[in-house]
Amino acid sequence: MLQQMLLMEQLADEAVAAGLDRDPRLAPQLELSRKRLLTALRLEKLRAEAAAQIDVDALARERFAADRARYVVPSSRTARHLLVSELDRSAQDAEARVAALAERLAAGERLEDLAREASDDATTRDAGGLIADIVPGATDPAFDAALQALDRPGAVTPTPVRSRFGWHLIELVSVTPARQRTYDEVREQLAAEITAANIDRQLNQHTDRLNSLPIEADPDLVASLRTRFEASTAPSKKDPP
Strands 161-163 and 72-73: unpaired
Sign of CA dihedral 19, 25, 31, 32: negative
CA angle 17–18–21, rounded 5-degree value: 85
Per-residue pLDDT of the chain (241 residues; tens, 9 = 90+): 888 989 999 998 998 898 888 888 888 888 888 899 999 998 899 888 888 888 999 999 999 999 999 999 999 999 999 999 999 899 999 999 999 999 999 999 999 999 999 999 999 999 999 999 999 999 999 999 999 999 999 999 999 999 999 999 999 999 999 999 999 999 999 999 999 999 898 889 888 888 887 877 777 776 776 676 565 555 555 555 4
pTM score above 0.75 = no
Determine the Cα–Cα distance for residues 217 and 200; give it in Å rounded to an integer.
31
The DSSP result for 115-163, as a single string, is HHHH-S-HHHHTTTTEEEEEPTTSS-HHHHHHHHH--STT-B-SS-EEE
For residues 203-241, one letter each, b for 16 or more C-beta atoms within 10 angstroms of the residue's C-beta and e for the rest, the string is: eeeeeeeeeeeeeeeeeeeeeeeeeeeeeeeeeeeeeee
User: What angle, rounded to 10 degrees, do the helices at 56-66 and 183-212 form?
Assistant: 110
Helix or strand or coil: residue 55?
A: coil
